[in-house]
Amino acid sequence: MSNPFLKQVFNKDKTFRPKRKFEPGTQRFELHKKAQASLNAGLDLRLAVQLPPGEDLHDWVAVHVVDFFNRVNLIYGTISDGCTEQSCPVMSGGPKYEYRWQDEHKFRKPTALSAPRYMDLLMDWIEAQINNEDLFPTNVGTPFPKNFLPTVRKILSRLFRVFVHVYIHHFDRIAQMGSEAHVNTCYKHFYYFVREFSLIDTKELEPLKEMTARMCH
């Protein structure tokens, strides 16, 4: 394992949360395997994200949301030692974009926070959503709730902000570690997926518009 990125990923570190796994034998596990097989076969990412015939959209989306959470979490974890209260006192994506945190508990109004504090709250919040059985049911046949897709849109919009911050403020670290291609592939996979199912407003994608145009078209 000579790749420093992989070494970072497999080192146990506080920034790497336990992965939400799919139980073998379940429909979700089979879908996860199908999605992984497409990626491993080098299938065009635009095609890999499409809903397989006969599969349920909510199940397909649930599998990908969990997978993107795990991947983005690892990407941020690899650069987190360089993302500090001092280096990133504001959660931003360049001078034009500042992201404020809001939730149902402590931060009821949008609040300016440092990037590491924002990331911590974000990862905790997403983890709580995907481990909530009422929202992400794991039993086959249990219907998804009406607020599933609205919540997914919120999760993915917030995960996109991690890409924005990493690309704009920490890309030198990514390049230095030799993991540029890996991060770019993760981003393209994420981008094609949210576009395929209209899961993020176009205006949210604005900060990486130029880079995305070069990379994904």
Instruction: List pLDDT tens digits, range 132-184.
Output: 999 998 877 789 999 999 999 999 999 999 999 999 999 999 999 888 988 99
Let me know how many helices (H) and strands (E) the chain has, helices first: 9, 0
User: Is 129 inside a domain boundary?
Assistant: yes
If you ran DSSP here, which 8-state letter would residue 2 be given? -
User: Is 137 inside a domain boundary?
Assistant: yes
Dist CA 38 CA 95 (whole Å): 38
User: Is 132 inside a domain boundary?
Assistant: yes
Q: Report the binding-site residues.
A: 83, 88, 165, 170
Residues facing 98 on adjacent strands:
92
User: Is 178 inside a domain boundary?
Assistant: yes
pLDDT at position 10 over 50: no
The domain in which residue 184 lies consists of 25-50+59-83+115-216
> Domain with 74 in it: what CATH number?
1.20.140.30
User: Is 19 inside a domain boundary?
Assistant: no
Query: Which residues touch 71 (CB under 8 Å, ≥6 apart)?
Result: 186, 190
Q: What is the model's pLDDT at position 4?
A: 43
pLDDT band at residue 101 under the 50/70/90 scheme: very high
Dist CA 138 CA 141 (whole Å): 9
User: Is 105 inside a domain boundary?
Assistant: no
**Count of the separate structural domains present in the chain:** 1
Q: Report the binding-site residues for Zn(2+).
A: 83, 88, 165, 170
Q: What is the model's pLDDT at position 7?
A: 39
Instruction: List pLDDT tens digits, range 172-212.
Output: 999 998 889 889 999 999 999 999 999 999 999 999 999 99
pLDDT band at residue 13 under the 50/70/90 scheme: very low
Question: Alpha helix (H) ranges present in the chain?
Answer: 4-10, 27-40, 45-48, 57-79, 115-130, 148-169, 171-176, 180-196, 209-216
Dist CA 113 CA 119 (whole Å): 10
Q: What is the model's pLDDT at position 36?
A: 67
Structure-block tokens of residue 39: 């990626």
Instruction: List pLDDT tens digits, range 102-126.
Output: 988 888 899 999 999 999 999 999 9
Dist CA 13 CA 77 (whole Å): 8
Q: What is the model's pLDDT at position 14?
A: 39
Query: The pTM is what?
Result: 0.84
Q: What is the model's pLDDT at position 148?
A: 97
User: Is 41 inside a domain boundary?
Assistant: yes
- Residue bearing tokens 């969990």: 66
User: Is 109 inside a domain boundary?
Assistant: no
pLDDT band at residue 216 under the 50/70/90 scheme: confident
Instruction: List pLDDT tens digits, range 28-86.
Output: 556 666 666 555 556 688 988 999 888 889 999 998 999 999 999 999 999 999 999 99
The residue type found at 123 is M
From the list 10, 13, 68, 94, the residue with the least C-alpha distance to 185 is 68
Residue 12 burial (CB count, 10 A): 5
pLDDT band at residue 16 under the 50/70/90 scheme: very low
29 Cα distance to chain centroid = 19
